[in-house]
Amino acid sequence: MLANATCIVCEASVGLPDDCAVGELLICSDCGTELEVVDLDPVTVEEAPQVQEDWGE
Ligand SMILES: [Zn+2]
C-alpha cells in the first residue's frame, strides 16, 4: 500500500491507487484539482497542467 499524497492546493490527503505509477493523474476529492504523480519515493505530486485543446480555426 502506497502512502497518500498531499494535495498541493488544499493540503487534503489524496489516496493513491495500488498500481499507481509516475505520471498517474489523481483528482483531489476536496478541491477538484488534477494532480500528477511525479515521484513515488517519496510520493510527490504537482498540479497537472491544464491542457488547452487547440481546435484550430
Ligand atoms: Zn485539494
How far apart are the CA of 53 and the centre of ligand 1, in A? 24
Domain 5-47 matching CATH 2.20.28.160: the answer reads yes
Q: Where along the chain do its domains lie? A: 5-47
How far apart are the CA of 8 and the centre of ligand 1, in A? 7
How far apart are the CA of 57 and the centre of ligand 1, in A? 35
How far apart are the CA of 22 and the centre of ligand 1, in A? 19
pLDDT in tens, 7-53: 999 999 999 999 999 999 999 999 999 999 999 999 999 999 877 77
Q: What b/e readout covers 18-31, taking b as 16+ CB neighbours within 10 angstroms?
A: eeeeeebebebeee
Strands ordered across the beta sheet of 25-27: 25-27, 34-40, 43-47
The pTM of this model reads 0.79
How far apart are the CA of 48 and the centre of ligand 1, in A? 12
